[in-house]
Amino acid sequence: MDNTKELLANQFYNTVLLIQTTNKDKKLLFGINKMYIIPFVVNCAFALEMFFKNELSKQGISYPKTGREGHNLQTLYGLLPQKSLVEAKYDELFDSVKRLNETKLPLSEVLDKIKFAFLDWRYLEFKDGEPPLPLHCLQIFTEAVKRTLVSWPVQPELFN
C-alpha cells in the first residue's frame, strides 16, 4: 500500500514539533510567539488533512480531492469511521493539560473554526490581537488524530 500521505502528514506534523522546540521557552500551550502562529496553523492543518486522507484511502472511503472541499477538515473528519476514538483521545489529552486554564471547546466547534485553516492561513498576515483559531485546541486535536490514526510513531510527541 502507498503510504505517501502518511509520510507527508508526519513530515508536516514533525514541523509542528520543530516550531514547538524552537519556541520552547514559550510553549504553544502557554502562549505563542506571533512569528510562529502562521507556520504552526498551516502545518497542523495540512498534517490533519493528510492524516485524514491517508486513513480514508486505507479504508476505501471516497472523499473530495479537488478544490476548496478537498481541504475541508470538517468534511474529511466527518467521513472517518474512527471519530469516537479521536474524540476520546482529544478529551483525554485535554484533561491531561487542564492546569493551563484553557477553555476546552467541543470538537464540533474546533472543526468549524479550523475547517479551511490550510487555505485561509497560508498567506495570512497575522495582525495584533487574538488569533481567530483556538490554537490550544488545534494543537491537542492534531496530537489526538496522530495518536489515533498513525501506524508508526513520530518523535518527540507534544504530550508525553
Q: Where are the domains of the chain?
A: 4-149
Tell me how far apart the alpha carbons of residues 59 and 142 are, in angstroms, rounded to a whole number: 20
The DSSP symbol for 24 reads G
Region for residue 21 given its phi and psi (left: phi exceeds 0; alpha: psi -120 to 50; beta: otherwise) = alpha
Query: Which pLDDT does position 115 carry in this prediction?
Result: 92
d(CA 127, CA 129): 6
Across 44-53, 119-128, 142-151, which has the greatest mean pLDDT?
44-53
Q: Which region among 20-29, 54-63, 113-122 has the lowest average model confidence (pLDDT)?
A: 20-29
Entry field: residues in the chain: 160
Highest mean pLDDT among 10-24, 73-87, 120-134, 138-152: 73-87
Sequence letter at residue 149: L
**For residue 77, is pLDDT > 90?**
yes
Q: List the end-to-end C-alpha distance of the chain, in Å, as a whole number.
A: 30
Statement: the pTM of the whole predicted model exceeds 0.85: no
Closest CA to 77 of 120, 45, 39, 122: 45
